[in-house]
């Protein structure tokens, strides 16, 4: 069994941002030389999500609007803010969209359907954040 690990670093301009990281994950997969196995992609932070969906800008705005409606940014609203933070909404958005994605590797490629793309969803950005890519297989 082989394993390979690399981080992607992202610094968003906005507090919330959705970034297609598929080609970066593909590059890491190529570097690994692994042909059959599994890739795990997860933020190393707890106010962000990795998820797989369609790269269509209207849809991404729908996602953002949905998350902001269901778990709004609100300095007054969350008990978490007693610690001095203002990102309770970001922790909740992450819970709704989940943490990680696990993707099959087949013939050295991400084993994806036509429209599957990996996104990093940042909910409390403007700082350097790391995404972990771990590949196991052979």
Site residues, its own copies (CB under 8 A): 1, 3, 5, 36-38, 40, 42-46, 51-54, 56-59, 61-63, 66, 70-71, 78-83, 88, 91-92, 94-104, 106, 111-116, 130, 132, 134, 136-138
Closest distance of CB 83 from its own copies, Å: 6
Q: Which is nearer to its own copies, 4 or 15 (CB)?
A: 4
> Is residue 16 packed enough to be buried (19+ CB in 10 Å), middle (13-18) or exposed (0-12)?
buried
> Is residue 128 packed enough to be buried (19+ CB in 10 Å), middle (13-18) or exposed (0-12)?
exposed
- Measured in whole angstroms, how far is the alpha carbon of residue 76 from the centre of its chain? 27
Closest distance of CB 15 from its own copies, Å: 18
Q: Which is nearer to its own copies, 1 or 13 (CB)?
A: 1
Residues 6 or more apart in contact with residue 84 via CB below 8 angstroms? none
Closest distance of CB 95 from its own copies, Å: 6
Q: Which is nearer to its own copies, 15 or 81 (CB)?
A: 81
């Amino acid at each position: 069994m082989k394993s390979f690990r690399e981080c992607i670093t992202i610094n968003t301009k906005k507090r919330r941002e959705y970034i297609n990281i598929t080609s970066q994950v593909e590059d890491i997969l190529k570097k690994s030389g692994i042909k059959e196995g599994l890739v795990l992609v997860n933020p190393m932070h707890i106010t962000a999500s990795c998820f797989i969906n369609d790269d269509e800008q209207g849809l991404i705005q729908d996602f953002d609007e949905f998350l902001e409606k269901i778990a709004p940014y609100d300095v007054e609203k969350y008990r978490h803010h007693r610690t001095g933070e203002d990102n309770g909404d970001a922790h909740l958005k992450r819970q709704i969209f989940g943490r990680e994605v696990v993707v099959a590797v087949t013939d050295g490629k991400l084993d994806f359907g036509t429209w599957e793309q990996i996104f990093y969803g940042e909910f409390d950005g403007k700082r350097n954040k790391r995404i972990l890519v771990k590949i196991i297989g052979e």
